[in-house]
Amino acid sequence: MDIKEITRDKSLGMTIIVKTISRLIVSFILVFGLYIVLYGHITPGGGFAGGVILAISYVLLILAFGGKVAVAKMSGFWASMWDNLGALAFVVIGFLGLIGGYFFLNFINHGTPGKLISAGIIPLCNIAIAVKVGAALYAVFLALSIYGRISTEEDE
Amino acid sequence: MLSHTSLYILDIALMGMGIYALIAKRHIIKKIIGVVIIEYAINLFLILIGYRAEGVAVAPIQDAEIGATELAAKAVDPLPQALVLTSIVIGLGTLALMAALAIKLYEKYKTFDMSEINRLRG
Amino acid sequence: MLILFHILLFFMIIGSIVAIETKNMLSAVIAVGAVGFGVSLMFLFLGAPDIAITQVIVEVLSLVILIRATVYIDNRAIERKFDSFAIITGLLFLGFFIMAAVWAFGDMTPFGEPLMRVSRRYLSGTAAETGAVNAVAGVILDYRAYDTLGEAMVLFASILGALVILRNRGKKPVVK
């Protein structure tokens, strides 16, 4: 089924008020999460907090529209795939430091402190951790709210 | 009465509340709540140790007004903050694990009561 | 400032008592949320904005997990019988921990004067050596990145455990 049809299906998810508000707000949450991740080395925040915000924007989709819309946007398979890719990217960044000397060496030029593109590998590590944490928490919430439902309930 | 140690003691009392819930309550979600409260208290304790009381507490972020040497003289300890930051997110992961276990137990025994589960299993 | 910390900690202890002792599970979970937001406020006043942000967000998500995944299924309270043995044991442990804590605090540095042997080095060197202005980001991902790798793997393992426990397909039916 097309994703627009599932979104308009009135039997799924919550009421129309919740759906409209969350449709307006979800993109702002996503952008705020990206801001927290990308500016993690300059302002408070970083990969862990930003990753949880990214996961929350998808959790809002699950809560408001039901699990089907969220699965159509990103299925459980792709969520665990992003989880693994984030963890792998973090380890690979660590091993790339070996070309300069030791594990997790900050091998990229540090640049001017305080600018967005600075601090070598720290923004890259932040992005990898954010992808890992966000995808992992989204996957586990998807599993808790869809697969973890008691089988006697009828709305599966 | 409002001494500096009393903050630590209150924080340990908060942790004791979690331990009490973990031991004395039979509802499995109450036990999960106990674990969550213990986690909060320990994180808060680590941050309390790193606080610096002289002057105003400065967050460990350097900017145009605060240089590197001034930061080292004024700012709070960044090391416990770095450890607690990861510990909070791991707490969320273990909470999800505990919730999954509780759901599976409910699916099998149709109750959240721990002593009831023990009786049914035996 | 000290009075503010005491008020916040009292608020948190009252919130935890409500969370532990109330009959309704939904209000218990929401009281835990109140404790978590109190902790986050405390982090903010203690000069740790990184952790305050993380705590608020994690608190929201853990509330949603607890409500949607567990309380949503079954909201009945169970505490019918008065279990005196468990309550006495719990209170005994509470008293024991507070006593041991008071005994141990004699050897600790007083509140507000931390031992900052390695942290001074981190604070003065973070901008020059790692390029990160935020000292916490510098410690997490440069000075102690190996530690962060380990913690990321712990998170990975716990999420993997939850997914394995919750999976329904692929299970063989029980032969009777």
pLDDT-based confidence at residue B35 (cuts at 50, 70, 90):
very high
Q: Which of these ranges, A65-79, A141-155, C112-126, has the smallest mean pLDDT?
A: A141-155
Per-residue tokens: C104? 């141990």
What is the share, in percent, of chain A residues with pLDDT greater than 70? 85
* pLDDT of A150 strictly over 50: no
Per-residue tokens: C46? 């203690």
- Which pLDDT does position A121 carry in this prediction? 80
In the three-class reduction of DSSP (H, G, I as helix; E, B as strand; rest coil), residue A133 is classed as helix
Q: Where are the domains of chain C?
A: 1-77, 115-167
Q: Which of these ranges, A123-137, B47-61, C143-157, has the smallest mean pLDDT?
A: B47-61
Chain B residues with CB-CB distance to A48 below 8 A: 85-86, 88-89
Q: Which of these ranges, A71-80, A96-105, B1-10, C150-159, has the smallest mean pLDDT?
A: B1-10
Give buried/exposed letters for B25-55 (b at 16+ CB in 10 A, else e). Answer: bbbbbbbbbbbbbbbbbbbbbbbbbbbbeee
Structure confidence by residue, pLDDT tens digits, C103-141: 888 777 777 777 778 887 888 777 777 777 888 888 888
Interface of A with B (CB under 8 A): 43-44, 46, 48-49, 51-52, 113-114, 133, 136-137, 140-141, 143-144, 148, 150-151
| Domains along chain B with CATH numbers | 4-121 (1.10.287.3510)
Q: Which of these ranges, A152-156, B8-12, B61-65, C125-129, has the smallest mean pLDDT?
A: A152-156
The DSSP secondary structure of A76-109, one letter per residue, reads HHHHHHHHHHHHHHHHHHHHHGGGTSSTT---S-
- Which pLDDT does position A154 carry in this prediction? 39
Instruction: Tell me which residues of chain C, numbers 138 to 167, contact chain B at a CB-CB cutoff of 8 Å.
Output: 138-140, 144, 147-148, 151-152, 154-155, 158-159, 161-162, 165-166
Return the closest-CA partner of residue B82 out of A57, C123, C156. C123
- Which pLDDT does position C92 carry in this prediction? 85
Residue C20 and residue B21 in contact, taking contact as beta carbons nearer than 8 Å: yes
CA angle, residues C127, C128, C130, in degrees to nearest 5: 70
Per-residue tokens: C176? 């009777």
> By the CB < 8 Å criterion, does C136 face chain B?
yes
Per-residue tokens: A44? 């408070």
Chain C residues with CB-CB distance to A103 below 8 A: 146
> Which subunits have 3 or more CB–CB pairs within 8 Å of chain C?
A, B
Rg (CA), chain C: 22
d(C-alpha A72, C-alpha A144), whole Å: 17
d(C-alpha A134, C-alpha A129), whole Å: 8
- Total length of chain A: 156
- β-partners of residue B58 are B75
